[in-house]
């Protein structure tokens, strides 16, 4: 047949040869010379491809595993150091004050430090008061004791003579630690290398006492400054009197000295506890 493509056929393995029991099968095409494309409209839209997530970057091998032991070890060391610090602080012995032993003197009954002294002591040199006396009281502690009082005032004179005088008193009760300002008074007030100063022991006043004298005298003026510091039992007292006069006024340093001694003794009497 002209104009037709030859068609190759193959016989089925079960063909009509001799010995075959049934009819021969129809020949099958080996290939389709005119294949047809499948129609997706008949079976639905084309399937979409599944989106595969991008793989995450790999972790550095062993870094986290190596960091965990270091972190735990650091926390353990910090906790141990804190516990050691607390143990050291708690174990340090504290210098607890001993119970106060009552002494012969007390500041509890002192309402005004200037009441302990004679505020007219300067009138022999400077009869006119100069300002209001200043005072301060320290009650001390019920646990460790201590306390004290101080007083200061001044006087002047004008007219035919010119003069000025100053007074200062400081009284301190020793606390249960035994601290007393007497030693520092000696070091800072009486042993300083001041030109013309004379200092020494002063017997007969309290348990121990010292004095210091500073004096300047010219043809036109005379200045005397006396300081007396004494201690008796738990009380230390210091009194300073300074007097300046012109050439028309007589000034005796022994009078100033005795005035200091009298005022120190007056403070001892005023702060002594009754019945002790």
pLDDT tens digits, one per residue of 181-195: 888 888 777 777 788
Q: Please give the model's pTM, rounded to 2 decimal places.
A: 0.63
Nearest-CA neighbor of 240 among 217, 215, 261? 261
User: Alpha-carbon distance 241 to 213, whole Å?
Assistant: 10
Separation of alpha carbons 274 and 276, rounded Å: 6
Does 145 or 60 have the greater pLDDT score? 145
Q: Is the pLDDT of residue 169 over 90?
A: yes
CA distances for 233 relative to 109, 173, 210, angstroms: 18, 9, 16
Binning pLDDT at 50, 70 and 90, where does residue 6 land?
very low
Distances 153 to 89, 162, 165, 168 between C-alpha atoms, Å: 49, 18, 9, 7
Spans of all domains in the chain: 113-271
Q: Can you give the pLDDT at residue 272?
A: 94
Q: Which residues contact 219 (CB under 8 A, 6 or more apart)?
A: 247
65 phi and psi, to 5 degrees? -65, -35
| pLDDT reading at 259 higher than 80 | yes
């Amino acid at each position: 047949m002209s104009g037709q493509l030859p068609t190759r056929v193959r016989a089925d393995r079960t063909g009509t040869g001799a010995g075959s029991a049934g009819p021969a099968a129809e020949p099958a095409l080996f290939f389709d010379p005119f294949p047809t494309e499948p129609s997706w409209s008949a079976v639905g839209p084309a399937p979409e491809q599944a989106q595969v997530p991008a793989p995450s970057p790999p972790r550095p091998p062993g870094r986290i595993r190596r960091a965990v032991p270091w972190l735990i070890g650091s926390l353990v060391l910090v906790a141990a150091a804190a516990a050691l610090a607390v143990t050291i602080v708690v174990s340090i012995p504290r210098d607890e004050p001993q119970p106060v032993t009552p002494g012969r003197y007390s500041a509890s009954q002192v309402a005004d430090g200037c009441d302990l002294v004679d505020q007219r002591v300067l009138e022999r040199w400077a009869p006119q008061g100069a300002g209001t006396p200043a005072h301060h009281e320290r009650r001390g502690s019920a646990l460790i004791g201590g306390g004290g009082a101080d007083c200061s005032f001044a006087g002047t004179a004008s007219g035919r003579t010119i003069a000025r005088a100053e007074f200062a008193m400081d009284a301190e009760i020793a606390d249960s630690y035994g601290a007393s300002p007497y030693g520092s008074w000696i070091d800072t007030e009486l042993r300083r290398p001041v030109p013309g100063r004379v200092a020494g022991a002063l017997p007969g006043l309290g348990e121990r006492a010292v004095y210091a004298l500073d004096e300047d005298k010219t043809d036109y003026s005379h200045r005397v400054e006396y300081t007396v510091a004494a201690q008796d039992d738990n009380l230390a007292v210091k009194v300073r009197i300074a007097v300046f006069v012109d050439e028309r006024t007589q000034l005796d340093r022994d009078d100033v000295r005795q005035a200091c001694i009298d005022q120190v003794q007056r403070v001892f009497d005023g702060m002594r506890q009754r019945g002790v």
